[in-house]
Structure 1
Amino acid sequence: MAVTFQDLGVAKWLVEALTAMKIYTPTAIQAACIPKVLNGHDCIGGAQTGSGKTIAFAAPMLTRWSENPSGVFGLVLTPTRELAYQIAEQFQALGANANLKVIVIVGGEDMTAQTLELAKCPHFVIATPGRLADHILSSGEDVIRGLRRVKYLVLDEADRLLTNSFADHLDTCFSALPPPSQRQNMLFTATVTDSIRAIKEKPVAAGKPEFFIHEVDTVDKVAIPSTLSISYIFLPSNVKAYYLHCLMTLEEHTNKSAIIFVNRTYTAELITRTLSRLGLNVTSLNSDLKQADRTSSYHRFKSGAARILVATDVASRGLDIPQVALVVNYDLPADPDDYIHRVGRTARAGRKGESISLVSEKDIERVLAIEERVGKKMEKYEEVSENKVIANSMKVTSVALREAEMEMEKAENTIREKKKINKRKHASEFVLAAQQDKRKVVKKGNLVTK
């Protein structure tokens, strides 16, 4: 007989909430981690993308919270804004009938509004380390006092958080929390690195249960799901946009929800504008966009209002968009693990998915490194040929690409001109203020001599 959430010790009200969301049976990572967390263990959970890691840490925290719902009960740190909002949505859905208070603290949003929300001591805080560190350093004790009593800390996408780029922000965040011995600590990731495993070997505080680690399917050995097909198109690097248009307009892909990954924000904007001019329903997600635009793009794609998302690696981790059927690597990443996270946006939870990489002569070493990491060879994709590109895509894409470049250059010139105007304006204001100060000094001097 299958194990149920109730068997794992999850609160009855939460089992009912899961049932309402049509989640009936725990996944492997949930079945392994939930009882251990409820029994007080610190926990490391490793599982493939789409395996239900969020519920693996949310269910035990919400169960314990419902027994004593006061103050800031849990803090979840995650590397990207989009993932923070997604986690918050799941918490809010699970606690919809339980008066649960969840806030999101990320960059790109109004700092003052966040300060007011944080000062109210919500039950759960979902945050990116950089913005939470800003609050800890600048918002005052009255604002962050709730963090001093946090009972649970979760690092989601822990392998990325525990890198040098987040180190200083994490140290600041941890400085506002109770010591590790006085809280439960959970790390969840799709890539269990040696540095994460080493955490298990650290001494356990007196009276605390031993550190628990669980890896589903030994994550590092099964890097991509068996339901995912991976293939490549070999092409000259200067015609990638033509091949991309041909690929995305194939009859077999015209109704598929797809993510196109690029390495640079400029490329993301250029490809988005180009495909849009070619009549494709496309939106963009990258770190150069304002937060409101990033949120809008994410929800447009998730709701199906946009069929194609052109994204940098801000979209490669954790985002759960079930309908994604195709992932295209317009640019190959330098790190094979980034490839794994990218293609992990499709073929989730047992569904089939497809990944196609555009490979130029400069990418051979990256392809070999990826194939070694995933333990699988990429197949040659046969549906896009040079003749088909020349016949169907080269002319129209060339025009659209040139127009997109001109449009971006015009926008950039407008921004530069505005900056120059603002600079001259500030300089004039500075000179005027200096002249007024000088006149005040002269006037004051005349009064003194009279």
Structure 2
Amino acid sequence: MSSFKQLGLPNWLADSLNAMRITTPTEIQRHCIPEILLNGKNCIGGAKTGSGKTIAFATPMLSQWSKDPSGLFGLVLTPTRELAQQIAEQFVALGANMNIRVSLIVGGENYIKQNIELSSKPHFIIATPGRLAHHIINDDPLTTNLINSLQRLKFLVLDEADFLLTETFASDLQTIIKVLPQKNKRQTLLFTATITDQVKSLSSGDTEKFFTYEINNSKDNDGSIIPSTLSLYYIMIPEHVKEAYLYHIITSTQYLESTIIIFCNRTHIVEMLRRTLYKLDIRVTSLHSQMPQQERTNSLHRFRANVARVLIATDVASRGLDIPQVGMVINYDIPMDPDTFIHRSGRTARAGKNGDSLSFVTPKDVNRIIAIEDRIGMKMTEFNQIYDTAVIKKSLNKVTRAKRESIMMMEKEGFGERRSNQRSKNNKSLRS
């Protein structure tokens, strides 16, 4: 099938896609849209980031909704605020000509304003589980009447389903799902880049009503989990000079014009690196869970607009975000979970473009690298474009000075205290 109309989508939706310059269905869209839309199937869809999964679940939902556009029709749950915002923007763009009402329900935003929005009977809710669970627990039948609306919806979507079905979200998901219609009265759509056993288990014993499609087991044409356009490198360096090597690499001739995402395991390191690189005149921004939501939104917009060419982030940026111009991903810290490495690397080499992934490896990281190489079925290549003497001569002293000043300023501002206070708030039902 070569067009969205041939997949069964109505003319108005095909026109909306065309206006967004989306004219040819991707593989995941070609296989999943007809099963969801025409056959009424539940669906598990597995495909790499950038393959068009959002369109694969959004368009059949919107197509069915347009036949009777009243009341709450669908709920999309996703693990991060940024991904929820991105999905909400796509729903709004696709349904712009149909007066669609979409509510974005995520942590960090005004709770009362969200209550008012929910009481206006949106057609679709795009939410992070923690914040939506909090609204359900505190629902007022005389105002919001959220539970009553949720009991009538027709679609439930779990985006990044493998992550949502972990212990992290278990309590909030339970709160949400218990107020939804029974399985046989709604369609359930699960999409992810990694189909885990937990995801697969949801279709067990119900194969007639579930359609599962995974593109080549989420592998590339040559059988690799990593696309052939992505080059994987590692560099062995001592822990105490990582910042100097980082600065030297991102200012090298090879990467001076590249858009780069740097992943760290802790928010404190993200903040330290952001301040350090800013002092060294790098156009840098950051993204992590301890930032106010407006700052997070502004930061991502700055990076997408290339106002900042370097984004330093925790794993809130590792999943699903559509930032097509990223030329390089740097794992400043090596993740514990090999699948996290795969998701991080998926921020570059998207849609057939070339990209580089570079991992900083200290002696304590060797076992993690071995686990990652076992998971992806390939070995990384040693990065040989940098020499110790050059780093020491050009970068070490000024980077060390900038780092020291950044740490002193963070201590003066009580960054650690602020982070501790935020953690206490997060433990009170306002999670996202």
What is the CA-CA distance between 1:346 and the residue it aligns to?
0.6
Deviations 1:389-408 (A, max 9, x none): 01111011011001101110
SS of 1:232's partner is: strand
The root-mean-square deviation of aligned C-alpha atoms, in Å, is 1.4
- CA–CA distance in 2 between the matches of 1:56 and 1:115? 29
- CA–CA distance in 2 between the matches of 1:133 and 1:405? 37
Give the structure 1 partner of residue 217 of structure 2: 218
SS of 1:61's partner is: helix
What percent of counterpart residues are identical?
53
Give the structure 1 partner of residue 289 of structure 2: 287
Give the structure 2 partner of residue 59 of structure 1: 59
Q: How does 1:42-441 map to 2 (within 5 A)?
A: 42-141=42-141, 142-143=143-144, 144=146, 145-203=148-206, 210-219=209-218, 222-412=224-414
Deviations 1:4-61 (A, max 9, x none): 1111001111111111111111111000100000120000000011100000000100
What is the CA-CA distance between 1:210 and the residue it aligns to?
2.0
What is the CA-CA distance between 1:388 and the residue it aligns to?
1.3
SS of 1:213's partner is: strand
What is the CA-CA distance between 1:414 and the residue it aligns to?
11
Q: Which letter does structure 1 place at the counterpart of 2:152?
A: R
For normalisation by structure 1, the TM-score amounts to 0.89
5+ long unaligned stretches in structure 1:
420-450
- CA–CA distance in 1 between the matches of 2:155 and 2:224? 30
- CA–CA distance in 1 between the matches of 2:277 and 2:24? 41
| Residues 170 and 413 of structure 1, relative CA distance in 2, 3 Å threshold | closer
Q: Which letter does structure 2 place at the counterpart of 1:167?
A: A
Give the structure 1 partner of residue 429 of structure 2: none
| Residues 405 and 179 of structure 1, relative CA distance in 2, 3 Å threshold | same
- CA–CA distance in 2 between the matches of 1:414 and 1:77? 31
- CA–CA distance in 2 between the matches of 1:264 and 1:396? 24
Displaced runs of 4+ in structure 1, greater than 6 A?
413-416
- CA–CA distance in 2 between the matches of 1:233 and 1:122? 50
5+ long unaligned stretches in structure 2:
422-432
- CA–CA distance in 2 between the matches of 1:24 and 1:375? 34
- CA–CA distance in 2 between the matches of 1:172 and 1:32? 32
Contact 1:42-1:184 at 8 Å conserved across structures = yes
Q: How does 1:12-23 map to 2 (within 5 A)?
A: 12-23=11-22
- CA–CA distance in 2 between the matches of 1:147 and 1:210? 22
SS of 2:327's partner is: strand
- CA–CA distance in 2 between the matches of 1:175 and 1:197? 20
For normalisation by structure 2, the TM-score amounts to 0.93
| Residues 185 and 113 of structure 1, relative CA distance in 2, 3 Å threshold | same
Q: How does 1:27-46 map to 2 (within 5 A)?
A: 27-38=26-37, 39-46=39-46
Deviations 1:126-154 (A, max 9, x none): 00000000000012234202211110000
Q: Which letter does structure 1 place at the counterpart of 2:175?
A: T
- CA–CA distance in 2 between the matches of 1:222 and 1:8? 29
Contact 2:7-2:30 at 8 Å conserved across structures = yes
Contact 1:119-1:146 at 8 Å conserved across structures = no
Deviations 1:142-187 (A, max 9, x none): 4202211110000000000001110110011112211111000000
Moved more, 112-121 or 91-100: 91-100
May I ask how many residue pairs the two structures share in their alignment? 412
Q: Which letter does structure 1 place at the counterpart of 2:311?
A: L
- CA–CA distance in 2 between the matches of 1:95 and 1:306? 31
What is the CA-CA distance between 1:85 and the residue it aligns to?
0.2
| Residues 415 and 197 of structure 1, relative CA distance in 2, 3 Å threshold | closer
- CA–CA distance in 2 between the matches of 1:95 and 1:352? 33
Deviations 1:298-352 (A, max 9, x none): 1111111111100000100000101111100000001100000001001111111
| Residues 415 and 230 of structure 1, relative CA distance in 2, 3 Å threshold | closer
- CA–CA distance in 2 between the matches of 1:3 and 1:413? 53
What is the CA-CA distance between 1:203 and the residue it aligns to?
3.8
Q: Which letter does structure 2 place at the counterpart of 1:307?
A: R
- Larger helix percent: 1
Q: Which letter does structure 2 place at the counterpart of 1:328?
A: I
Contact 1:133-1:170 at 8 Å conserved across structures = yes
- CA–CA distance in 2 between the matches of 1:167 and 1:252? 44
- CA–CA distance in 1 between the matches of 2:385 and 2:417? 42
| Residues 323 and 279 of structure 1, relative CA distance in 2, 3 Å threshold | same
Deviations 1:386-444 (A, max 9, x none): 0110111101101100110111011018968xx9xxxxxxxxxxxxxxxxxxxxxxxxx
